[in-house]
């Protein structure tokens, strides 16, 4: 895929991510639908397949899932620069700066204020009140990830693997990397 | 309580490498590893502190684990610590994911790789759910009482996992009500002298 990008387009790419940063409550992935609308449907800087595989790869690779943004930037740069990596690097840089700078600046300031005022009744109430919700959100995230592997009768081995993993990690001290390796092998040989 | 010295990061470099190490173990999301390393292994945070910080990291915009690393780094070494933790969380994983993108550009659809990704995805889902289950024990100390906590948790789970309500609405409604109730309860404790 080859696209032509002017200086203004690169700037628009940066602005797009800057504007989504402060909306990304719950993680950058919550703004993925809007990124798809803009980058794929409207500007045609990325193919559908490139968009989807960026998310899948970032989730499978080690590190925070926000790195799918870096992959989007990489692919856009590759498309625009005729597969020359300096363009891809520029895409990564603009995308990551855009998505991270506003939200991390806000977090830095707000968290610092919260920590300095941690004895305030309102701050303590916020933390106590949010605790059960935050815990439920974690379990719900696990549930949603498991659901994305399908709910047909054929996907029961995957659900079983998810449930066994949850139980082992909750109740034993087994190292998570062993479980990931086991999951990878089971999938590689087509047993699940 | 006797003041035993609490484990904490030794230097900015220690922060950087600690977060690098845990980021590189985080396949399919880093949170499960952060909890395991910070609370159970290094013990920089107690279970209660972790939940509190996670609540803040979750409600603010941006990637949650990135927010969390920033907050932990800032607490020990200020801005330098925040940047070191952030850099540790992102630098090597970024290089790896770009390398993988270059390598897997052609073969990500092949049977073996797709299967392995599927299997690891199923494990990653279990890891995150287990993190929530492990932290749930901390609710016994919550000022709102265990029963109400479980009720709030159940409501949140149904809203997010079953009804797929957008996160913002869940935080505003269930979260807002819980915070108001906790505020009330904290006031009552103070009156009764039961606040420690």
The pLDDT of residue A74: 95
Q: Taking Cα atoms as reference points, which of B55, B180, B182 lies closest to residue A114?
A: B55
The pLDDT of residue B106: 60
What's the start-to-end Cα distance of chain A, in Å?
Answer: 34
Radius of gyration over alpha carbons of chain B, in Å?
20
Residue A12 CA: distances (Å) to CA of A15, A16, B180: 5, 6, 41
Q: Is A82 left (phi over 0), alpha (psi -120 to 50) or beta?
A: left
Contact between B51 and B135 under an 8 Å Cβ cutoff? The reply is yes
Q: A130, B63: Cβ pair inside 8 Å?
A: no
Q: In angstroms, what separates the C-alpha of B12 from chain A's closest C-alpha? A: 17
The interface predicted TM-score (ipTM) is 0.83
Q: Which residue in B has a C-alpha nearest to residue A71's C-alpha?
A: B98
Q: What is the mean pLDDT of residues A81-98?
A: 93
Highest mean pLDDT among A50-54, A180-184, B1-5, B108-112: A180-184
Q: Chain B contact for A109, CB < 8 A?
A: no
Q: Chain B contact for A105, CB < 8 A?
A: no
The pLDDT of residue B195: 45
Indicate which of B126, B166, B174 best probes the interface with A, i.e. most A CBs within 10 Å of its own CB.
B126
Judged against a pLDDT cut of 90, whether residue A13 lies above it is answered with yes
Q: What single DSSP character describes residue A28?
A: G
Domain ranges of chain A: 7-112, 121-188
**Residue B10 CB partners (closer than 8 Å, separation 6+):** none
Q: Which of B113, B132, B182 sits opposite A142 (nearest CB)?
A: B132
Q: Chain B contact for A19, CB < 8 A?
A: no
Contact between B194 and A145 under an 8 Å Cβ cutoff? The reply is no
Q: In angstroms, what separates the C-alpha of B121 from chain A's closest C-alpha? A: 7
Q: Taking Cα atoms as reference points, which of A42, A41, A102, A36 lies closest to residue A69?
A: A36
Q: What is the mean pLDDT of residues A108-128?
A: 92
Confidence of residue A65 (pLDDT cuts 50, 70, 90): confident
pLDDT tens across A152-168, in order? 777 889 899 999 999 99
* Beta partners for residue B61, in sequence order: A25
Across all residues in chain A, what is the average pLDDT? 89
Q: B55, A180: Cβ pair inside 8 Å?
A: no
Q: What is the pLDDT along chain B (196 residues), one digit of tens a residue?
A: 455 678 999 999 999 999 999 999 887 678 888 999 999 999 999 999 999 898 889 888 999 899 999 999 999 999 999 999 999 999 999 999 999 888 876 665 567 877 887 888 888 888 888 988 988 988 998 999 999 999 999 999 999 889 988 878 888 999 999 999 999 999 986 655 544 4
Chain B residues close to A190, C-beta within 8 Å: 111, 115
The full DSSP string for chain B is: ---PPPP---SHHHHHHHHHHHHHH-BT-SHHHHHIIIIIIS-SS-HHHHHHHHHHHHHSBS-HHHHHHHHHHHHHHHHHHHHHHHHHHHHHHHHHHHHHHHHHTTTTTSHHHHHHHHHHHHHHHHHHHHHHHHHGGGGGG-TT-HHHHHHHHHHHHIIIIIS---HHHHIIIIIHHHHHHHHHHHHHHHHHT---
User: For residues A136 and A139, what is the distance between their CA atoms, to the nearest angstrom?
Assistant: 5
């Amino acid at each position: 895929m080859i696209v032509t990008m002017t200086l203004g387009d690169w700037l628009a790419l940066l602005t797009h991510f800057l504007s989504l940063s402060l909306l990304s409550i719950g993680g950058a992935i919550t703004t993925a639908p809007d990124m798809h609308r803009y980058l794929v449907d409207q500007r045609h800087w990325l193919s559908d397949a490139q968009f989807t595989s960026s998310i899948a790869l970032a989730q499978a690779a080690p590190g925070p899932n926000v790195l799918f943004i870096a992959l989007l930037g990489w692919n856009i740069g590759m498309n625009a620069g005729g597969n020359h990596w300096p363009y891809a690097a520029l895409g990564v840089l603009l995308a990551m700066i855009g998505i991270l700078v506003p939200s991390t600046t806000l977090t830095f300031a707000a968290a610092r204020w919260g920590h300095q005022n941690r004895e305030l009744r309102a701050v303590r109430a916020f933390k106590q009140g949010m605790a059960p919700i935050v815990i439920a959100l974690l379990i719900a995230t696990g549930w949603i990830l498991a659901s994305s592997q399908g709910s047909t009768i054929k996907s029961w081995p995957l659900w079983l693997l998810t449930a066994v993993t949850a139980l082992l990690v909750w109740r034993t001290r087994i190292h998570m990397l062993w479980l990931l390796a086991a999951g990878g092998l089971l999938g590689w040989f087509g047993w699940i | 309580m006797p003041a035993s010295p609490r484990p904490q990061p030794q230097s900015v470099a220690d922060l950087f490498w600690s977060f690098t190490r845990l980021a590189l173990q985080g396949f399919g999301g880093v949170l499960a590893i952060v909890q395991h390393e910070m609370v159970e292994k290094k013990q920089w945070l107690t279970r209660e502190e972790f939940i509190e910080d996670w609540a803040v990291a979750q409600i603010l915009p941006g990637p949650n684990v990135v927010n969390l690393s920033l907050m932990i780094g800032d607490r020990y070494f200020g801005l330098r610590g925040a940047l070191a933790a952030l850099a540790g969380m992102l630098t090597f994983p970024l290089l790896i994911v770009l390398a993988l993108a270059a390598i897997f550009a052609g073969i990500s659809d092949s049977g073996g790789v797709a299967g392995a990704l599927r299997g690891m995805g199923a494990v990653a889902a279990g890891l995150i759910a287990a993190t929530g289950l492990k932290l749930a024990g901390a609710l016994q100390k919550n000022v709102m009482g265990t029963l109400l906590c479980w009720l709030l948790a159940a409501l949140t789970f149904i809203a997010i996992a079953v009804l797929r309500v957008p996160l913002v609405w869940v935080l505003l409604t269930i979260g807002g009500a819980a915070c108001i109730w906790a505020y009330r309860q904290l006031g009552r404790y103070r009156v009764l002298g039961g606040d420690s």
